[in-house]
Amino acid sequence: MKKTEFLTGSFIALTLVVLLGVFFFQALFQPSYEGKVMPIDNVNLKDRVSLHYVLKNVNDASKYLATNGMRYFNNRSSVPSKTITFGKTKNLEEGSANEVTSIVVNYRGFDTLGEVTVLFISIIGLTMLIGGVKEKKLRMPSVIVRTGSKFLFPFILLFGVYIFIHGHLTPGGGFPGGAVIASGFLLLLLGLENFKFNTTVSKVIESLAGVTFVGIGLVGLFMKNSFLANFIPTGTIGFLYSAGMVALIYIVVGIKVGAELSTGVAELKEGNKND
């Protein structure tokens, strides 16, 4: 009885999945849509909104749209732009060499504030729910793990800090850097059995970092009339001291995410004491 029920259930699920798959793939191989050829393999960046993010002329583009109206959509390329050279071009409207960072932190900085808030809430939920789960005795770690974790921890911390300080120049940024720092703390928690992670201190650090993020946004509001607007000169593209507040915000996000994920990992290992 149970077996046949399971089999019929699987069969129905498989039929559903196959039907959905046929639907997906016929959409992929449809040659045209409303008379236009689907640009699956010959996408041009000039047809995309990201053109202005890449060329860093978003303000010019919005001015152009305000004066020319709908004509903008057919000739995006006529918005004034200049050639950007690594290490030479100065005082762009946004100065980070990493385009993804420029979108995440500068053009869509408010999005990132929301994202950090979601992570914060999920870690709060984790801390609340984990209460009552008692700590299990773990097996004692071997000598290699004990010495290795002590030896490696400062280097992991340094690597995490390097990743989030160079977030506007290289791949990475606040979130990967924070995750690396949390992995260093995880190594300590697993390697040293009498290592106590102080969650109160980490929560204070995390809250201060969050307040600093909002504070930077408010400074932008008072100086440039827009929340999270860039109020520091952007400098030369490709240098460490460039990109204005992008580097500042990524440092704050790195500290916040590192403290947050370390708290989560420590709570998962130790359970909650105030149960």
Q: Give me the DSSP letters along 124-144.
A: HHHHHHHBTPPPPPPPPPPHH
Q: Give me the DSSP letters along 183-198.
A: HHHHHHHHH-TT----
Which DSSP letter does residue 225 get? S
With tokens 């809250």, the residue in question is: 207
Q: Is residue 40 part of the contact set for another protein (CB under 8 A)?
A: yes
Q: Is residue 104 part of the contact set for another protein (CB under 8 A)?
A: yes
With tokens 């689907």, the residue in question is: 38
238, 244, 254, 258: which one binds another protein (CB under 8 A): 238
- What residue type is 159 in one-letter code? F
Distance CA 176, CA 103 (A): 16
Work out how close the CB of 143 gets to another protein at its nearest, in angstroms, rounded to a whole number: 31
Q: Which of 240, 218, 213, 250 is nearest to 231 (CA)?
A: 218
> CB 26: neighbour CB atoms within 10 A?
9
- Footprint (CB under 8 A) of another protein, residues 203-232: none
Work out how close the CB of 240 gets to another protein at its nearest, in angstroms, rounded to a whole number: 14
Distance CA 155, CA 152 (A): 5
Distance CA 246, CA 50 (A): 19
Q: From 82-90, 156-164, 205-213, 216-224, give the range in contact with another protein by CB under 8 A.
A: 82-90
Interface mask toward another protein for 138-157; x: CB under 8 A: --------------------
Q: From 126-134, 196-204, 213-221, 228-236, give the range in contact with another protein by CB under 8 A.
A: 126-134
8, 30, 33, 45: which one binds another protein (CB under 8 A): 45
Q: Is residue 38 part of the contact set for another protein (CB under 8 A)?
A: no
Query: Strand, helix or coil at 236?
Result: strand
8, 121, 158, 224: which one binds another protein (CB under 8 A): 121
8, 30, 122, 226: which one binds another protein (CB under 8 A): 122
Interface with another protein by CB under 8 A: which residues?
9-10, 13-14, 16-17, 20-21, 24-25, 28, 40-46, 48-51, 53-55, 77, 81-88, 97-100, 102-104, 108, 111-112, 115, 118-119, 121-123, 125-126, 129-130, 132-133, 169-171, 173, 175, 237-238, 264, 268
